[in-house]
Amino acid sequence: MSYIKVDSLTKQFKSQIRRTGSMSAFKDFIAPRHELKDAVKDVSFTIDKGEIVGYIGPNGAGKSTTIKMMVGILVPTSGSVEIGGIVPYENRLANSRKIGVVFGQRTQLWWDIPVIETFKLMQYIYDIPDRQFETNIRQFADILGIDEFVNTPVRQLSLGQRMRADLCAALLHNPEIVYLDEPTIGLDVDVKERVRGFIKEINRTRETTVILTTHDTADLDKLCSRVMVIDRGSMMYDGELSYLKRNYSSHEIVTVEIESELPERMLRARFGSAVTLDGRLCHVRVDRERESSADCIAWFIHNSRVLDVKIRETDIDEVIRNMYGTFKNAERESEAEAQ
Ligand SMILES: Nc1ncnc2c1ncn2[C@@H]1O[C@H](COP(=O)(O)OP(=O)(O)O)[C@@H](O)[C@H]1O
Ligand SMILES: [Mg+2]
């Protein structure tokens, strides 16, 4: 049986329609006109215990609104959410014991007190037994590397330190589900890696279910085999990340570092405008429809001494744009056929 069940979930918000023309601001003030907008529209999915699911889509798509209904902050306009047998917006307290929530852009920590005191407050609020508290602190501090700043007041922490402390705080009460909204936004590469490692470890050892919102493809690659894509409130895709990437990522950037520069003429003859030169670094935009990154790298190996190679895939926002493009084309084609 599925652990999380979301069925035909819909949330409408009332928004004001702005008039134009003379005295419009005055008219809007005296007699405001409203319309209902679907922030989330007829969304259904199920998630099993222990899954890590990426929830992705452009800004304003409805991700946070969905999560707020799952957390119990918002009541759906229609449809339903059930999490481990609990309806979150009807029983917020019971639900809050089961969940941990982290928003990358906002902290839950107390600004003026040292990190460790915040953790103790969490222990008090959630009534966490001493043994569990100590075991968790020890394990989390180790994986996240937070020992060196547990006595520092939160306001003095760097963004990366703050994020690690936030993650730790959100998991002290052993939640069954964690909602992570952009947990790696703005972090350095090594901190991102630590955060990913932590999420992975918690999921592996405790079967914690993870719902992750992100724009970072590397987060998805490292953590999620399944992604759900939402746009304008509607679910566009729910399935394997690998399928999405295979079918909708149009190109890769291959960066080759060579020992000594090659004549530009020669590079242009082979790659045309797809190559960008940066001293001994050559960046080639490889169109996956036409050739493979392997062929591109093979050419460099044949023609120069290659010191290093990096391949960067299309980022997830572009994958999604390509996906919409395909849907729109399909719509246009079916409209054309109908005429
Ligand atoms: N409290 C609110 N009142 C009115 N409109 C809202 C409110 N919260 C979100 N919206 C609107 O709902 C849509 C979805 O927002 P959101 O769920 O925050 O998107 P995302 O998290 O995917 O960026 C947006 O058009 C947003 O402006
Ligand atoms: Mg959001």
Q: Where are the domains of the chain?
A: 4-11+41-246, 251-313
Higher pLDDT residue, 33 or 338?
33
Counting from 1 in the atom list of ligand 1, the atom nearest the Cα of 68 is 17
133 lines ligand 1 (CB under 6 A): no
64 lines ligand 1 (CB under 6 A): yes
Q: Is the pLDDT of residue 337 over 70?
A: no
Instruction: Please state, as a whole number, how many other Cβ atoms lie within 10 Å of the Cβ of residue 266.
Output: 11
Is residue 336 very low, low, confident or very high in pLDDT (cuts 50, 70, 90)? low
Closest ligand, as measured to the CA of 12: 1
Compute the mean pLDDT over every residue in the chain, rounded to the nearest whole number. 89
Q: How many helices (H) does the chain have, and how many strands (E)?
A: 12, 13
> What is the C-alpha separation between 256 and 236, in angstroms, rounded?
36
Q: Is the pLDDT of residue 332 over 70?
A: no
Q: Tell me, what's the pLDDT at 335?
A: 66
15 lines ligand 1 (CB under 6 A): yes
**Mean pLDDT confidence for 273-283:** 91
Closest ligand, as measured to the CA of 65: 1
> What is the C-alpha separation between 165 and 114, in angstroms, rounded?
11
**Cα–chain center distance at 122:** 26
Which amino acid residue places its CA nearest to atom 2 of ligand 1?
A: 13
20 lines ligand 1 (CB under 6 A): no
CATH topology of domain 4-11+41-246: Rossmann fold (3.40.50)
Q: Tell me, what's the pLDDT at 331?
A: 63
Is residue 109 very low, low, confident or very high in pLDDT (cuts 50, 70, 90)? confident
Q: Tell me, what's the pLDDT at 82?
A: 95
Is residue 333 very low, low, confident or very high in pLDDT (cuts 50, 70, 90)? low
**Tokens, residue 207:** 């079967």
Domains 4-11+41-246 and 251-313 share a fold: no
234 lines ligand 1 (CB under 6 A): no
Q: Please, what sign has the CA dihedral across residues 313, 316, 318, 324?
A: positive
Is residue 329 very low, low, confident or very high in pLDDT (cuts 50, 70, 90)? low
9 lines ligand 1 (CB under 6 A): no
Percentage of the chain beyond pLDDT 70 is 96
62 lines ligand 1 (CB under 6 A): yes
Q: How far is the CA of 137 from the centre of ligand 2 (A)?
A: 29
Closest ligand, as measured to the CA of 55: 1
Q: Is the pLDDT of residue 287 over 70?
A: yes
Asked if the 251-313 domain carries CATH number 3.30.70, the reply is: yes
> What is the C-alpha separation between 183 and 45, in angstroms, rounded?
23
**Mean pLDDT confidence for 286-292:** 84
**Mean pLDDT confidence for 21-39:** 88
65 lines ligand 1 (CB under 6 A): yes
Percentage of the chain beyond pLDDT 90 is 59
Q: How far is the CA of 87 from the centre of ligand 1 (A)?
A: 22
67 lines ligand 1 (CB under 6 A): no
**Cα–chain center distance at 48:** 19
Query: pLDDT tens for residues 303-328?
Result: 999 999 998 877 777 777 777 776 56
Query: pLDDT tens for residues 128-142?
Result: 999 999 999 999 998
Query: pLDDT tens for residues 74-99?
Result: 999 999 999 989 999 999 888 989 99
**Mean pLDDT confidence for 64-73:** 93
4 lines ligand 1 (CB under 6 A): no
| Spatial CB neighbours of 204, under 8 Å, sequence gap ≥ 6 | none
Q: Tell me, what's the pLDDT at 20?
A: 87
Longest dimension (CA), the chain: 74
Q: Is the pLDDT of residue 212 over 70?
A: yes
Specify the residue for token string 């889509």. Answer: 57
Query: pLDDT tens for residues 169-197?
Result: 999 999 999 999 988 888 888 889 999 99
Pocket probe for ligand 1: among 14, 65, 67, the residue whose CB has the most ligand atoms within 8 Å is 65
Which amino acid residue places its CA nearest to atom 1 of ligand 1?
A: 13
Q: Tell me, what's the pLDDT at 328?
A: 61
* Structural contact between residues 122 and 108, judged by C-beta atoms closer than 8 angstroms: no
Which amino acid residue places its CA nearest to atom 16 of ligand 1?
A: 62
Higher pLDDT residue, 255 or 185?
255
Q: Is the pLDDT of residue 201 over 90?
A: yes
